[in-house]
Amino acid sequence: MKSPNYIFNILSITSLLGIISCNKPKDKKTTNIDAQKAVQDSSLIPESKISNKPSFDSNTVEDSLALKIKDFITSQYLKPEDLKIIDASARKFNLYQIDLNNDDKKEVFINFFTPYFCGSGGCTLVLLDSDLKLISKFTVTRTPITIDSKTENGWKVLWIQDGNDWKILTNKSGKYPSNPSMIKPTKEVPESNAVKIFDNNTSKTYSF
């Protein structure tokens, strides 16, 4: 029969070998394979899920400009009685900056897309110059607005699609037509690489 000391020594040696085995660094080859697999797995995750930041059209994002537009809306565009009856959930707008008359200054579209400003035929939009002075107000207008290289009277024409028909809004005397529904359809179509304004959910939403 083996002595207790002998059994104790065997157990001690076994425990020591176990600790050494646990602390032994992983084989470099195995570590590299694990790292490569992690990179491959992460590439399968959409960027939006990784960053948690929505992707907006850069022409629709400028917080300092949005504050100035908010002031325009509440102090010039809408009347106090209008503001009183507009629910907080309807006090929303999108903006879009684009140079329409090639003067190296960007005009600004404001899209009021909430139910208070919309009807069955479309919504209200406003076009301001670079100093936030009113150029045109559009009623019952459907978005997106399409803009290509075509110009009339020094201003880009605006293309509005109504069903399968296209309508062209031409600037005359510094203003565009206010009601696209009154414009006759055209057989022309915009260029394939035309800019689409307020298309889908690519615009940042601001409140006023």
Give the whole-angstrom CA distance, residue 107 versus residue 104: 10
The pLDDT assigned to 108 comes to: 98
For residues 3 and 156, which has the higher predicted lDDT (pLDDT)?
156
104 token code pair: 């190296």
Residue 49 has pLDDT above 60, yes or no: no
pLDDT, mean over the chain? 84
Q: Answer whether 124's CB lies under 8 Å from 139's CB.
A: yes
pLDDT band at 200 (very low <50, low <70, confident <90, very high): confident
Residue 28 has pLDDT above 60, yes or no: no
| Nearest C-alpha neighbor of 123 from the set 179, 170, 67, 202 | 179
Q: Can you give the residue ranges of every domain in the chain? A: 58-207
- Tell me the per-residue pLDDT of 35-47, one tens digit each, with 9 for 90 and over: 455 445 544 444 4
Give the whole-angstrom CA distance, residue 66 versus residue 26: 55
Percent of residues, the chain, with pLDDT higher than 90: 71
Residue 187 has pLDDT above 90, yes or no: yes
- Tell me the per-residue pLDDT of 158-171, one tens digit each, with 9 for 90 and over: 999 988 999 999 99
Kindly report which listed range (20-24, 88-92, 124-128) carries the lowest average pLDDT score: 20-24
Residue 33 has pLDDT above 70, yes or no: no
pTM: 0.74
The pLDDT assigned to 16 comes to: 45
Residue 60: how many CA atoms within 13 Å on its side-chain side? 20
